[in-house]
Amino acid sequence: MAKSNILARTGNEAMAEAMRQINPDVVAAYPITPATEIVQIFASYVADGLVDTEFVPVESEHSAMSACIGSAAAGGRTMTGTSSQGLALMAEMLYIAAGLRLPIVLADVNRALSSPINIHCDHSDTMMVKEAGWIQIFSENAQEAYDNMVQAVKIAEKARIPVVVTTDGFIISHGMERIEILDDKDVKDFVGQYKPENYLLNLDKPITVGALDFTDYYFEHKRQQIEAIKDSMPVILDVGKEFGNKSGRSYGFFEKYKLDDADCAIVVMGSTAGTTKVVVDNLRAKGLKVGLLKPRVFRPFPKAELADALKNLKAIAVMDRSDSGNAQEGPLCLEIKAALYDANLSKALLNYIYGLGGRDIKIEEIEKIYTDLGEAIKGSKKPKITYIGVRE
């Protein structure tokens, strides 16, 4: 196993550190709270000659992703970072990057979408582009943010699918934590050299990128893309395992926390999973058989694996940090529900919408969810959608 270095870093610093070690050919980015620091710190690495990267300080996020597409199509390892409205402004180009099968890596610091304008965490930005054809990886803390960024480069280039790695705005992005990072050389070896098969700067073999498909080809090209997304699943697992061999921290599609013998569990992504682990420990100390499942990879959605991990539970609560806008459950809950249906599992399934616009989620509130789950097991609590911590 490779040597580790222990540092105190915020989530943003951890992501910028990963980018320094990855040393991409091009970074094109635009500032937006709370992701600004990532590119700001990275720009200082460029200014100090610590990386070979050409930094393109574009005039909008739309242009950031457009320039990333130009660079990646030209044959370069390419990265960017953004948040919220920035990701929304990029939305058009996110679909194009995925359709062109360009392995761009994007660090997204989750922040609520306007309106009302708000700079704090929820997952509405990432959820808005969940159908864009990108691999989406959520991080619980700064350590995972670093680890996911290093893995993302390798996943994107092997699967030829762009990857977004998210952290929770301010909670992770600005929270200082103890993290372990690999040596520069180990990261360099891990990500390797990027060798594109066809690229614009290969003048000996001119290619046309972004051609027009009519009804006779569009579906075939989309079908190939859909298949590539399916094929990325073993790639994600392989890279997670390989990273584990190097760092001692292995990654899969999700993390199970005291789940295998649990009667009931919460499913939650991002930083709230950390808070929920504390609650699980407290309740376990009282003899309650409770657990947690933390999805890490939201796209592609590991439906069968998740259903298998949840199959022995008597009741499940899914916590969503965004709303679907469909007068039904949040996006994570809907997908969990679909996964259970396909596995012929009918469970008591509660949905909790929490933390919109950075509203704090408290330990007592998570404890109450486990109490609700206990009641659901007894049959005295009917499945419904609950909005936590909001004045009704």
Partner 1 sequence: MANLKELSKQKELFTGGHRACAGCGAVIVARQVLMAAGPNTVVASATGCLEVISTIFPYTAWNVPFIHSAFENSGATISGVEALYKSWMRQGKYNKKVNFIAFGGDGGTYDIGLQSLSGAVERGHNILYVCYNNEAYMNTGVQRSGATPKGADTTTAPVGKVSKGKEQYRKDLTEIMVAHRIPYVAQAVVGNWRDLMNKVEKALSIEGPKFINVFQPCRLGWAYEPEKTCEMGRLSADTCIWPLYEVVDGNYRITYRPKTKKPVTDWIGVQGRFRHLLKPENKAIIDQIQAFTDKNWEDLLKKESLSAPAVKPSEAPKPA
- Which pair of tokens denotes residue 48? 């100090």
Nearest approach, Cβ of residue 59 and partner 1 (Å): 3
CA distances for 2 relative to 121, 182, 245, 246, 304, angstroms: 34, 7, 8, 5, 33
**357, 120 Cβ separation under 8 angstroms:** yes
Q: How far apart are CA 389 and CA 83, in angstroms?
A: 24
CB nearer to partner 1: pick between 92 and 360: 92
Please enumerate in sequence order all residues whose Cβ is within 8 A of that of 316, keeping only pairs 6 or more positions apart, or say none. 264, 265, 266, 267, 310, 336, 340, 347, 348, 349, 350, 373
Q: How far apart are CA 74 and CA 89, in angstroms?
A: 23
C-alpha angle 364-33-150 in degrees, rounded to nearest 5: 85
Task: Classify residue 64 as left (phi > 0), alpha (psi -120 to 50) or beta.
Answer: alpha
Pick from 102, 99, 106, 51: nearest CA to 83 = 106
Nearest approach, Cβ of residue 25 and partner 1 (Å): 4
The SS3 call for residue 105 is strand
CB nearer to partner 1: pick between 27 and 316: 27
CB nearer to partner 1: pick between 49 and 116: 49
Nearest approach, Cβ of residue 215 and partner 1 (Å): 11
CB nearer to partner 1: pick between 69 and 88: 69
CB nearer to partner 1: pick between 9 and 77: 77
**What is the bridge-based pairing of β-strands 264-267 and 315-320?**
parallel
Nearest approach, Cβ of residue 54 and partner 1 (Å): 4
CB nearer to partner 1: pick between 90 and 163: 90
CB nearer to partner 1: pick between 54 and 180: 54
Q: How far apart are CA 140 and CA 273, in angstroms?
A: 7
Nearest approach, Cβ of residue 42 and partner 1 (Å): 14
The SS3 call for residue 341 is helix
Binding residues for partner 1 (CB under 8 A)? 25-26, 28, 52-54, 56-60, 62-64, 66-76, 78, 92-93, 96, 100, 200-203, 206-214, 217
Amino acid symbol at 177: E
Nearest approach, Cβ of residue 331 and partner 1 (Å): 26
Nearest approach, Cβ of residue 196 and partner 1 (Å): 11
CB nearer to partner 1: pick between 77 and 120: 77
Nearest approach, Cβ of residue 167 and partner 1 (Å): 25
Nearest approach, Cβ of residue 80 and partner 1 (Å): 10
User: In the chain, what is the greatest distance between 2 CA atoms, to the nearest angstrom?
Assistant: 71
CB nearer to partner 1: pick between 221 and 378: 221
- Which pair of tokens denotes residue 269? 């992504």
CB nearer to partner 1: pick between 163 and 273: 163
Nearest approach, Cβ of residue 28 and partner 1 (Å): 6
Q: How far apart are CA 201 and CA 307, in angstroms?
A: 45
| Other CB atoms within 10 A of residue 270 CB | 29
